[in-house]
């Protein structure tokens, strides 16, 4: 129950899911940008290598640390499912866990699933918008005017 309460307190906060969604939605583009900047800027690359070798980083690179947030979200659901399974099995075997424990765990699991769904949706939307912008930057249209003349090329707005 303390785990479920802690999860509900954190994940159930009304500002938590939107904040995580905003952080995670630009992550793939940020990682691509970081990769490009590291390639172009040797000074930045050397600085990051020096920091990533510090014991505090645990041999993780910056890109790995950025991905930890989303990966942790997926693990919350697995953790709560495992705990819930153990609690339900304990209730079936007549252990002293109260039915309230499984109710709180189920609520925490539902909240964790909702937060993960919100974040996944934001990531998917951001990636689709990025794809559209990329396609749009490569497209131009020509609109026929009177006769056989063509108007100057225009950018097609897909967003």
Count CB atoms within 10 A of the CB of residue 7.
Answer: 22
Q: What percent of the chain has pLDDT over 90?
A: 30
pLDDT of residue 159: 63
Q: Closest by alpha carbon to 18, among 102, 122, 90, 97?
A: 122
Give phi and psi for 109, each to the nearest 5: -65, -45
Can you tell me the mean pLDDT for 16-37? 89
Three-state SS at 41: coil
Does residue 152 surpass a pLDDT of 60?
Answer: no
Query: Mean pLDDT score of the chain, rounded to an integer?
Result: 83
Give the Cα separation of 81 and 71 in Å (integer). Answer: 16
Question: In sequence order, what are the residues at sequence separation of 6 or more whose Cβ sits closer than 8 angstroms to the Cβ of residue 11?
Answer: 17, 76, 108, 111, 112, 115
Residue 31 reports pLDDT greater than 70? yes
What pLDDT score was predicted for residue 120? 93
Domains, the chain, with CATH or none? 2-138 (1.20.900.10)
Q: Which H or E run includes 110?
A: helix 99-138
d(Cα 31, Cα 25) in Å, to the nearest integer?
Answer: 11
As given in the structure block, the two tokens for residue 93 are 């075997």
pLDDT bracket for residue 64 (50, 70, 90): confident
For 46-69, what is the mean pLDDT?
A: 87
Q: What is the pLDDT of residue 89?
A: 79
């Amino acid at each position: 129950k303390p785990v479920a309460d802690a999860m509900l307190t954190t994940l159930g906060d009304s500002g938590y899911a939107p904040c995580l969604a905003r952080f995670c939605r630009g992550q793939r583009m940020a990682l691509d940008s970081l990769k490009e900047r590291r390639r172009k800027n040797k000074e930045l690359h050397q600085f990051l290598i020096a920091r990533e070798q510090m014991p505090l980083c645990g041999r993780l690179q910056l890109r790995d640390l950025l991905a930890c947030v989303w990966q942790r979200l997926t693990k919350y659901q697995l953790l709560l499912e495992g705990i819930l399974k153990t609690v339900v099995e304990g209730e079936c075997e007549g252990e002293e866990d109260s039915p309230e424990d499984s109710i709180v765990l189920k609520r925490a699991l539902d909240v964790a699933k909702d937060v993960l769904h919100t974040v996944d949706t934001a990531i998917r939307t951001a990636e689709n918008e990025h794809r559209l912008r990329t396609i749009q930057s490569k497209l131009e249209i020509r609109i026929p005017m009177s006769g056989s003349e063509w108007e100057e090329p225009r950018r097609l707005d897909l967003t």
